[in-house]
């Protein structure tokens, strides 16, 4: 009897799963294992929302099959379990982050009998390249080549079937005491971990995807899919997402597919240019003399900059672990090009707070916003937080939700409270400097400083 072990990581589901499908085809009995990696856990805060999300996803898996949930170093624990269960072969889906690659290679060398699979992306970093074999560094030609490769294979989207009867069952061992063992606290998240919730959201989004291009930038409209965390942890598959994008033809479907390709683009950049993890993609931007202060950075983190759309977005992030993509661009541009704070500090803060944190996407987004990355916006393009607020939250609904002290201001003054007169502020029950801060910098003056800062670095 051949026994297989499937090591699940960022693929917390039992359907359309490449490694699990192969294991249940080739083996008579299959066991599942998930390791809470202490090297990752030790970098997180005790109330990190992602730990609870993963736990909920594992609970749902355990309702159907058994899963060995371990805490520690997977380089040690996976080989130990392999020997303990007298396993013949280890299976897992590939991860392209630098730490994961080193970790996985050590496990492969230790065990030997290992098969790995493409699963978290449709095309791996080495599969969509230029004619001369070099990687793309601009999105649009990458997207064209991606679509060409997709069409060349006949729009064939694999659906990796899993024989659940082959997976070894077991009594539930996932208890809340696990959090104490890890030194974490269970959190109540708006988005619950697991495939069932992910599929419901996918189905719900399918009913409004045709208007996605029109609604996605308006935070008060709930126009986004809220699926990013489910694809991040693999509660649903990338193929589930692509299938939805092809169900009908509309500008919304096209934009949705384009964003999925952006995800693959950043995965490719991380795989081909791993130096982006620690420094700028473009070497000429490494010498930017960031002049922003710690005080300004802290105000940004806490949502008290005096710029309502920025503060509302940051408070939303701190409270829920989520933020619409449009606002991610706004607050990132604000930190780098208005407060003049190093983008790497913002990237690190997002990494600590985002429920859907993905290294490739987060790094790519921050380098795009700071103009230091591949195919980034030009350094002289600086988002105006006031005009962005007026355009995408015209009535101030999102601001009112997260900055309630401003909720009685009218739709004109709520975007820039310091322009309201004393009577308007009194009627709104808001005292600037007490209930809500004055702007900590002048946007106009900071814009000029930013342009000089970038020009100096590039010269």
Contact 132, 138 (CB under 8 A): no
| Alpha-carbon distance values, 163 to 3, 160, 312, 326, 382 (Å) | 14, 10, 46, 41, 52
CATH architecture of 3-120: 3-Layer(aba) Sandwich (3.40)
Q: Which residues contact 391 (CB under 8 A, 6 or more apart)?
A: none
Axis-axis angle for helices 325-337, 343-353 (nearest 10): 140
Q: 172, exposed or middle or buried, with CB in 10 Å at 0-12, 13-18, 19+? A: exposed
As assigned by CATH, the class of the 121-158+194-272 domain is mainly alpha
Delimit the CATH 1.25.40.80 region(s) of the chain. Answer: 121-158+194-272
Residue 366's CB is within 10 A of a number of other CB atoms, namely: 26
Catalytic annotation, residues: 259, 262, 290, 325, 343, 366
Instruction: Please give the model's pTM, rounded to 2 decimal places.
Output: 0.95
The token duo for 53 is 């999300």
Residue-by-residue pLDDT tens, the chain, 459 positions: 899 999 999 999 999 999 999 999 999 999 999 999 999 999 999 999 999 999 999 999 999 999 999 999 999 999 999 999 999 999 999 999 999 999 999 999 999 999 999 999 999 999 999 999 999 999 999 999 999 999 988 777 989 999 999 999 876 667 777 888 888 989 988 899 999 999 999 999 999 999 999 999 999 998 899 999 999 999 999 999 999 999 989 999 999 999 999 999 999 999 999 999 999 999 989 989 999 999 999 999 999 999 999 999 999 999 999 999 999 999 999 999 999 999 999 999 999 999 999 999 999 999 999 999 998 788 899 999 999 999 999 999 999 999 999 999 999 999 999 999 999 999 999 999 999 999 999 999 999 999 999 998 888
The strand pair at 68-72 and 29-37 is best described as parallel
- Residue pointed to by tokens 């007169």: 421
- How does DSSP assign 362-431, residue by residue? HHHHHHHHTT-STTPPPTT----HHHHHHHHSTT-HHHHHH-GGGTTS-TTGGG-GGGS-HHHHHHTT--
**Containing H/E element for 361?**
helix 359-369
Please tell me the distance from the alpha carbon of residue 276 to that of residue 406, in angstroms, as a whole number: 39
What's the angle, vertex CA 267, arms to CA 162 and CA 254, rounded to 5? 80
Delimit the CATH 1.10.579.10 region(s) of the chain. Answer: 283-458
Q: 165, exposed or middle or buried, with CB in 10 Å at 0-12, 13-18, 19+? A: exposed
Delimit the CATH 3.40.50.620 region(s) of the chain. Answer: 3-120
Q: Under CATH, which number does the domain 283-458 receive?
A: 1.10.579.10
Contact 397, 406 (CB under 8 A): no
């Amino acid at each position: 009897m051949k026994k297989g072990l499937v090591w699940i990581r960022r693929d917390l589901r039992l359907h359309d799963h490449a490694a699990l499908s192969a294991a249940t085809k080739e083996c008579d009995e299959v066991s599942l294992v998930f390791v809470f990696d202490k090297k990752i856990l030790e970098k997180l805060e005790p109330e990190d929302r992602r730990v609870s999300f993963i736990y909920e996803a594992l609970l749902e898996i355990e309702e159907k099959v058994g899963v060995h949930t371990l805490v520690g170093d997977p380089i040690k624990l996976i080989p130990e379990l392999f020997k303990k269960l007298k396993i013949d072969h280890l299976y897992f889906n590939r991860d392209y982050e630098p730490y994961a690659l080193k970790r996985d290679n050590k496990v492969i060398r230790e065990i030997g009998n290992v098969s790995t699979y493409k699963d978290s992306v449709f095309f791996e970093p080495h599969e969509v390249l230029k004619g001369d074999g070099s990687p793309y560094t601009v999105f649009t030609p990458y997207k064209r080549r991606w679509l060409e490769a997709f069409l060349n294979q006949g729009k064939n989207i694999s659906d990796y079937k899993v024989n659940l009867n082959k997976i070894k069952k077991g009594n539930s061992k996932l208890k809340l005491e696990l959090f104490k063992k890890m030194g974490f606290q269970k959190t109540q998240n708006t988005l619950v971990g697991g495939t069932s919730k992910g599929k419901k959201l996918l189905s719900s989004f399918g009913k409004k995807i045709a208007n996605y291009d029109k609604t996605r930038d308006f935070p008060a409209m709930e126009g986004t899919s809220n699926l990013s965390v489910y694809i991040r942890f693999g509660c649903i598959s990338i193929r589930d997402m692509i299938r939805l994008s092809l169900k009908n033809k509309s500008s919304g479907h096209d934009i949705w597919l384009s964003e999925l390709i952006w995800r693959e683009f950043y995965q490719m950049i991380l795989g081909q240019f791993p130096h982006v993890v620690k420094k700028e993609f473009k070497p000429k931007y490494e010498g930017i003399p960031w002049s922003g202060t710690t005080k300004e950075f802290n105000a940004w983190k806490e949502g008290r900059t005096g710029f309502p759309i920025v503060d509302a977005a940051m408070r939303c992030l701190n409270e829920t672990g989520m933020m619409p993509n449009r606002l991610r661009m706004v607050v990132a541009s604000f930190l780098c090009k208005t407060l003049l704070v190093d983008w790497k500090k913002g990237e690190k803060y997002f990494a600590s707070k985002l429920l859907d944190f993905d290294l490739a996407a987060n790094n790519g987004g921050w380098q795009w916003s700071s103009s230091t990355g591949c195919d980034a916006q030009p350094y002289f393009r600086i988002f105006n937080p006031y005009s962005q607020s007026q355009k995408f939250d015209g009535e101030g609904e999102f601001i009112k939700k997260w900055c309630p002290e401003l909720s009685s201001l009218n739709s004109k003054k709520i975007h820039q409270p310091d322009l309201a007169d004393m009577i308007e502020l009194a009627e709104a029950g808001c005292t600037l400097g007490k209930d809500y801060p004055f702007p900590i910098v002048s946007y106009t003056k900071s814009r000029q400083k930013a342009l000089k800062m970038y020009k100096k670095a590039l010269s």
